[in-house]
């Protein structure tokens, strides 16, 4: 994926701020944006930031989904990737 089609951390953080204003701090949309930030930092090989955002995404998604749901399991998979960085 090229940088032209991949969002930057700054654009995702701005989107997250807007989502929190519009939908709330713990909305599904905020969880998705945090997950996307985590994936971005994985691609940049920045495990510390990736784990921070993925952890925040997991916290929010657990409010909306069961532990067996794909939305939860994909975060666990991403967190596992951080351990190999």
Q: Are 76 and 38 in contact (CB under 8 A)?
A: no
Global pTM value:
0.91
pLDDT digits (tens, 9 = 90+) for 22-76: 999 999 999 999 999 999 999 999 999 999 999 999 999 999 999 999 999 999 9
pLDDT band at 7 (very low <50, low <70, confident <90, very high): confident
| CA–CA dist 44, 41 (Å, integer) | 5
Closest CA to 38 of 3, 7, 69, 67: 7
Question: pLDDT at position 85, please?
Answer: 84
Q: Which tops the pLDDT comparison, 2 or 18? A: 18
What separation in angstroms does the CA of 56 have from each of 4, 32, 50? 27, 10, 10
Closest CA to 62 of 15, 30, 39: 30
pLDDT band at 16 (very low <50, low <70, confident <90, very high): very high
């Amino acid at each position: 994926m090229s940088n032209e089609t991949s969002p930057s951390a700054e654009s995702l953080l701005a989107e997250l701020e807007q989502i929190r204003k519009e939908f709330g701090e713990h909305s599904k949309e905020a969880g998705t944006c945090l997950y996307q930030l985590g994936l971005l930092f994985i691609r940049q090989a920045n495990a510390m930031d990736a784990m921070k955002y993925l952890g925040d995404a997991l916290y929010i998604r657990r409010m909306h989904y069961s532990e067996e749901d794909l939305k939860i399991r994909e975060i666990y998979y991403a967190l596992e990737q951080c351990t190999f960085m």
